[in-house]
Chains A and B, each alone.
Chain A
Amino acid sequence: MSDPKSKKSAGPINTFRIAQGIILILFLTFLSWRLYTVVSSGVYTPDTWVRFALSGLIIGSVYAVIAIGYTLVYGILFMINFAHGEIMMLGAFSGYFVFEALNFIVVNPNTGANFLDTYWILSVILAFIVGMFISAVCGYFLEKIAYRPLRGAPRLIPLISAIGASIFLQNAAQVTFGPQRRTYNNPDALTRSQGWRIPVGGEEVMLTYTGALTFVLSILLLILLYILVMRTRYGRSMRAVAEDKQTAALMGIDVDRIISNTFIISGALGGAAGVMWGIHNGIIYHFVGFIPGLKAFTAAVLGGIGNIPGAMVGGIILGIVESLGPAALGIDFQLKDVIAFSILVLILIFRPSGIVGEVLSEEKV
C-alpha cells in the first residue's frame, strides 16, 4: 500500500484479462449490431424515442437522489446501507398519509373544497417536509441501533445487520399498513397523466406535471447537496471523516456526530425520493423501496461509489439506459430490470471504479 503506483501497473497480462477483453468486445459488437437493426427497422418513431428518453430522465433523477444516500454512507463507513430503499419506502408512506390527511380538511364548507386541492403547493411542500423528516429520523435510529454497535467488526457483520434491518422495516410496513397497494392521492393540479404537450416530428409527446416536478426537485436537491458537501465547513469535515477517521478525530472533528448526520442527510434524501416516487408513479406498497434501492445502488456503482457527482450522473444514465434499452435492443419491456442488473454486473467486472471514478480513501481500495 505504500506505493499506490505499483498497484496500478497491474502485473503481467494473464489469460484471464484477455478472455475478459474478448468477451467485452464480442458483447459490444453484438449490442451495436442489435441496436442498428432495431433503429434502422423503424419500429419506433422519433416521438416514441423522445417519450422513452423523457421518462428515463425523470426516473433517473429519482435514482440519482437515492444513489446519493448510498454513496454518502459508503464513502464514510464503507458499508452498503442495505436498508436505504426501505427508508425511501417509509418516506413515500409518510407523504401518502400527509396527502390523505389534508384531503380530509375542508377549507371552504360552501364548495366543499379541501385543503389538498386548494393550497396544493403548500400541501406538496408539507408532504416533502414530513416525508424527509420521518425518513431522516429513521436513518438516524437505523445507524444508532443497527450499525453503530458494529463499527470495527469484520465487514460482513454490518452488511448482514443492514440486510436484517431492511427485512425488518419492510415487514413492519407490511404488518402495520397492510400488504395492499395504495394509490397516492395527488392534488388536482398534479393529476398524473396530465401535462404539457411538446410536438416532436409531427406527433405530440407529453411532459407530465408530476414528471417535471420530480425532475426539477431532484436537480435542486442534488445541487443543494453538492454545495453542502463541497462548499461548506460542515461538508469539509464530512469529507475529512470519509478520508481518514482517525486523523479527522485528531483534528477535533466529532466523528460519531458526522456519521449520524450523514445518515440523517441520506435519510432525508431517501424520503424526498420516496415522496417523489409516490407523486410521480402513484402506487406505493411495502416493497416499493426494494427495487429502486437496488437500482440506485447500481447507479452509485456506475458513477463510482463514494463520488457524489458520479452518483448523480450514474443515476441519470441508468434511468435513460433502462428506459431506452428494451426498445433499443428489441426485447421485452418486462426485462427492464434485467438490463439494469446486467449493467451492474458488467460495470463491476470491467470497471469497478465506475465511469467517473471512485473516491475512496486509500486504505479501503
Chain B
Amino acid sequence: MKENIKQASRNGALVGVILGFVILFGLTTTLSEILGDLFRLNSNSRTGNTGGLMLIFAIIALWAGSKAAAFDKSSWKTTLISGLMSGLALSVIISALTLLIGTLDAADVEMRDYLVQLNRQAIQFLLYGRSLWVGTLITFGILLVFSIGGGLLAFFLEDRKVGDLVYEKSLSLRDKVLEFTIIKSYQENPRSKWIGYGILLGIVFLFPLFLGRYWNYIMGTIGIYVLMGLGLNIVVGLAGLLDLGYVAFFAIGAYTAGLLTAPAPIPIQIGFWPVLILSIVLAAFAGILLGIPVLRMRGDYLAIVTLGFGEIIRVLIRSDMMTPYLGGPQGVRDIAGPSLFGLALDSERAYLYLIIFGILLTILFTNYLQNSRVGRAWMAMREDETVAQAMGINTLYYKLLAFATGAAFAGLGGALFAARNQYTGPADHTLMVSINVLCLLIVGGMGSVPGVIVGAFVLKGLPEILRELELYRLLVFGGLLVVMMIIRPEGIWPAPRRMMELHEDEGGGLTQAASLVGDEG
C-alpha cells in the first residue's frame, strides 16, 4: 500500500512536470484552440477557447490517474487512492505554476521578455479569464477529479491500461487494413498483384488532376522528400551506413542544375534535361569522392563525418570566397524549368508529374537492387560486417555503391527542387533537410519503400494540415524520434526483415539477460 502511494504520487509529479513544460511551451493554448474549434466548446472571444483547455486538463488527468493506478489493481480502493495521490501531485504542481505565473503577472512583471509564450492573453487564458484564485481552483479541481476518475476507470477496465488498449486496437486495425488491401492479396496471387499495381498507378497518375495549385505544390514537396527518402533508404536502410550529411548531395544536385541553367552567376545555359543527368552524375561522383576516405570508419564516426561534410558544403556556399561562383547568401535565381516536345512544363501539376515519374523510376530501381546480388550484399553488411566480409563480399565496394546510389537520388531530388522553385540558396540546404529525411525514413520504417512514402506523408504532409502547430513541428519531431526508438524502432510500416532483426532477442531469456548488462555493437 505504501509503495503504491509512493509510486502513484511520483507518477503524478512526473506528469505534472511534463504538463508544466507543455504550458510553458504554449502548446496548451494552441491545442485548446484546435480542440475548442473541433467540439464547438464555449468560445469566449476575449480569452479564447477555455473549454478546450479544460478538456485537455481533463484528458491528461484521466490518463495520469489510470496510469498511476496500473501498479496495483487488487481492489477499487487501491486504484482510487492511487488516482487520488497522483491527482494531488499533479494538481499541486500545475496549480502552483499557474499561481506563480498569475502572481508575477499581477505584480506587473513582464514575463514575456524571458518566456515568450507567456503574454498577457495567454496568462488570462490559463486562468479562464477569471480571477487568480478562482482560475487556479478550477484547474486544481479538474485535475484532481479526473485523476481519481482515471484511477477508478483503470480498475473497471481490468488489467489493461487505456493506452495499451488503444495501441492494440490500432495495431489490429492496421493488420485488418493490410489484409483487406491489395498488399495482402498480391502475395497470394501473382495476377492480382499486377492488377493491384495497375490500380495504384492509375490513382497516382490521376490524383494531381483533382488537386488545386497549392495542394499540387505541397504534394510536390512531399514527393521530393519521398525521392530523397528512397535514396537515403538505400544508404541507411539497406546498407546500414548512417549518413547525416545527405543534404550535401542534395545541394550539389540543386546547384548543378541552378548554375548551368540560370544566367547568373555563371553565364552557362544548357537545357534542363542534360543538366538533370549531369547533376545526378555529379552528385554520385561526390558520393564516391566522400565515400572513399570515410567509409572504413565505425558507424557513429561516419555519422559525424558526414554531418561535418554537410556543414562544410553549407558554409562554403554561404562564404564570400565562393560568392562569384555560387551566388553566396543570395543564391541562384531564374533557374530554367524543363520543356517536353516544345511544351514548357512550368505548372505545379507538371512538376508533380515529373516528380512522380522520378519516384516510380526510383522505386523500380530500388526494388531491382534490393532483390539482386547487390541488395543481398548490402543487407548482409548491415547485419554483420565481419561475417559479410568473410563470405567474400567486398564491403568497401558495396558501401561505395550504396553511397553513390543514394547520392544520385539526392542529386535528382535537388535538381527537381531547384527547377521547381526557380531558385536555390544556402537556406534550402541546412542540416534540417538531412534530419528531416532521416526522420521520415525512421518514422516510416527503414528499408521499406511503402514506409518511406508513409513517413514522408506523416512528416511533411501532416504539418501542412495542422498549420497551427507549425511552431511545434520540430519539437514534436524530436520527441517522436525518441519515442519511436523506444517503442517501435522499426517504424510504422517496416520491412519484414528489419523487424526480425530488431526483435531477434525477444523471447530468448538468456540473450535478454545478457543484453541487460553488456551491449553489443
Contact = CB atoms under 8 A, between A and B. Distances in A.
Interface of A: 16, 20, 77-80, 97, 100, 145-146, 149-161, 163-172, 175-178, 245-246, 249, 255, 294, 297-298, 301, 331-332, 334-335, 337-338, 341-342, 344-345, 348-349, 352, 363-364
Contact of A294 (B25, B293, B308): B308
Given A100-B114, A342-B312, A245 B305 contact: no
B325 interface: no
Interface stretch (B163-171, B344-352, B478-486): B478-486
Contacts of A177: 114-116
Given A77-B519, A294-B307, A158 B321 contact: no
Contacts of B315: 334-335, 337-338
A341 B518 contact: no
Interface residues of B, number: 61
A230 B94 CA distance: 44
Contact of A348 (B26, B116, B297, B485): B297
Of residues A151, A335, A342, which shows the largest number of chain B Cβ atoms within 10 Å of its Cβ? A335
B7 to A, nearest CB: 16
14 contacts: A20-B293, A80-B304, A145-B482, A152-B516, A152-B518, A152-B519, A159-B299, A164-B477, A172-B25, A178-B116, A245-B518, A294-B304, A332-B321, A335-B316
A175 to B, nearest CB: 5
Contacts of A158: 485
Interface string B426-469: 00000000010010001000000000000000000000000000
A331 B315 CA distance: 13
A342 B26 CA distance: 40
Nearest to B386: A1
A178 B244 CA distance: 27
Contacts of B242: 156, 159-160
Given A159-B299, A159-B303, 7 more contacts: A153-B489, A164-B482, A164-B484, A169-B478, A332-B320, A337-B312, A348-B304
Given A335-B319, A341-B311, A345-B294, A165 B482 contact: yes
B471 to A, nearest CB: 6
Contacts of B502: 153-154
Contacts of A363: 521
A284 to B, nearest CB: 12
A344 B294 CA distance: 11
B515 A152 contact: yes
B231 interface: no
A62 to B, nearest CB: 19
Contacts of A161: 481-482, 485-486
A153 B502 CA distance: 8
B293 A334 contact: no
A249 B517 contact: yes
Given A97-B114, A345-B293, A352-B297, A152 B485 contact: no
Of residues A80, A171, A255, which shows the largest number of chain B Cβ atoms within 10 Å of its Cβ? A171
A63 B451 CA distance: 40
A19 to B, nearest CB: 8
B485 A150 contact: yes
B217 interface: no
Nearest to B244: A163
B309 interface: yes
A97 B242 CA distance: 38
Nearest to A175: B25
B420 interface: no
Nearest to A255: B517
B208 to A, nearest CB: 32
A345 B472 CA distance: 34
A165 B483 CA distance: 10
Of residues B26, B303, B438, B501, which shows the largest number of chain A Cβ atoms within 10 Å of its Cβ? B303
A171 B480 CA distance: 13
Contact of A146 (B438, B477, B482, B519): B482
Nearest to B472: A175
A345 B309 contact: yes
Given A175-B25, A334-B320, A245 B519 contact: yes
Contact of B474 (A100, A167, A255): A167
Contacts of A171: 472, 474-475, 478
B24 interface: yes
Nearest to B473: A171
Contacts of A20: 293
B520 A152 contact: yes
B67 interface: no
Contacts of B316: 335, 338
A112 B21 CA distance: 35
Given A77-B519, A168-B475, A334-B320, A149 B116 contact: no
Contacts of A152: 515-516, 518-520
Nearest to B432: A167
B300 A155 contact: yes
A238 to B, nearest CB: 16
B228 to A, nearest CB: 17
B338 interface: no
A151 B513 CA distance: 12
B102 interface: no
B303 A164 contact: no
